[in-house]
Amino acid sequence: MHEHDNILLTEAVERYISGEMTPDERLQFENLRKADSEVDQMVVTHTMFLQKMNRYNEWQKFQVSLNEIHDDLATQGKIDSPALKGKAKIAYLFNKYKRVGSIAASIAGLTALLVSAILWSVTPKTQRAQLDLLNRNIHNLANKSRQQDQEIYNLKNNQSTTSIVKPAINYSSGGTGFIIDSKGLLVTNAHVIQNAQNIAVANAAGDEYEAKVVYTDPVRDIAVLRIIDKNFKSLPPVPYGFTKKTAEMAEPLFTLGYPREDIVYNEGYLSSKTGFNGDTLSCQIEIAANRGTSGSPILNNEGDVIGILNSRQKDQEGVAFFIRSRNLYTILNEVKEKEKTDAAIQNVKLNTRSSIANLNRQQQAKKIQDYVFMVKVN
């Protein structure tokens, strides 16, 4: 009963504050306040709290509108902001036009043209059991084709604007990774960083950070990386959640990854609950997967990560597999076992609740893109 009174009282306080009371009610309520100090106290604290909530809401709306204004003005050339090139331009178009699908399709077309001229590390899909044995050979093969690609690339592109290989560092693009802990822990595919000497990750803005491998699991094809760069500042809390649930057949899914130098959005659907050759660790997804998107997050409409993209069947266009998020929990426990002395690792907890469930797809993509990184290896 006591709680019921409190609910009524809270409601009264809110109507009182917002001025919805009739003059009579108001008078009664004010008398009640005078007579009962507890009620009076409640009105004061509740008013204060509502003001704080209100201000929070106002600020949030204001900040959203500032970002929109910035992008608009920069695109119209009314301010000298260099922000809108490449990925920002794409993100802007996404927000500007609601026809995401067709844009994504045209980007995919463009990518296909670009990809042929750009080099990517690629590990052919093999049976898992043989993977370990074949590591070396695959790597050598990949290296060879990498060199050839490099030569072709150099021959073809004398006037290219996007130089993939920066001579100073000499990284080549490996794949995609995404943040699982805002202090700088990422996951990607094990095959992306296999035999890597050095690893760097670059965000959508192009900032590059040095990273090292914390853990790798070739069977599940998952690796955990940590950013060890002094320039890296912790990100705000991770927006997406990690769900242990399996996606349903035909459930719409989307991904952000780096098939090329800029981040690219793609969408598709779950086509089978099992992976290659009936593998139960993974599921099959119908999506325009490109080389370089290995390690991208696969998300559902709620903004929950349901898996990690890992491979494409060579002979079928648009068929890809992803490793289910469930495995991330298992792997994180294994990492914690291994790194007993590392307090930062011990404190890592996967976010279970997406904070972007109620946003539309454009807003979700915008929020997520800061957490998806290109993984570069050499």
Partner 1 sequence: MKDTILEQEILLLKGLARNDRKASEEIYKQNYNLIQALVVNNNGTADDARDIFQESMVVLFEKARSGTFELNCQIKTYLYSVAKRLWLKKLQQQNRFTEEWNDSGMQVRVDDDIEVHEQKDQEFNLMHQSIQNLGEPCKSLLEAFYFKKKSMQEIAESFGYTNSENAKTQKYKCLMRLKKLFFSQYTKKEP
Which residues are near partner 1 by CB under 8 A? 3, 6-7, 10-11, 49-50, 52-59, 61-63, 65-67, 69-70, 72-73, 78-83, 205, 237, 353, 355, 357-358
- Is the CB of 123 or the CB of 369 nearer to partner 1? 369
Least distance to partner 1, CB of residue 28, Å: 21
d(CA 197, CA 194): 9
As given in the structure block, the two tokens for residue 75 are: 């695109």
* Least distance CB 276 / partner 1 (angstroms): 34
Residue ranges with strand state E in 77-184 = 172-181
Give the tokens for residue 304: 């929950």
Closest approach of partner 1 to the CB of residue 53, in Å: 6
Residue with Cβ nearer partner 1 (144 or 245): 245
Q: How far is the CB of 183 from partner 1 (least distance, A)?
A: 16
CB of 189 to partner 1, least distance (A): 29
The phi, psi pair for 186, rounded to 5°, reads -125, 160
Residue type at 352?
T
* Residue 145: how many other CB atoms lie within 10 Å: 14
CB atoms within 10 A of CB 142: 19
For partner 1, the closer CB: 50 or 350: 50
Give the residue with the Cβ less far from partner 1, 71 or 221.
Answer: 71
Cα 305 versus chain centre, distance: 8
Cβ at position 194, least distance to partner 1 in Å: 33
N-terminal to C-terminal alpha carbon distance within the chain: 68
Query: Closer CB to partner 1, residue 141 or residue 359?
Result: 359
Q: Measure the CA–CA gap between 183 and 295, rounded to whole angstroms.
A: 19
Considering beta carbons, is residue 192 or 368 the nearer one to partner 1?
368
Rg (CA), the chain: 25
Shortest spacing between CB 59 and partner 1, in angstroms: 6
Report the candidate in 84, 81, 163 with the shortest Cα–Cα distance to residue 118: 163
Which residues lie below 8 Å from residue 242, measured CB to CB, with a gap of 6+?
180, 304, 305, 325, 328, 329, 350, 351, 352
- Residue 202 near residue 169, CB atoms below 8 Å: no
Q: Which is nearer to partner 1, 154 or 352 (CB)?
A: 352
- At 49, the amino acid letter reads F
Query: Based on CB atoms, which residue is closest to partner 1, 51 or 148?
Result: 51
Q: How far is the CB of 69 from partner 1 (least distance, A)?
A: 5
Total count of residues recorded for the chain: 378
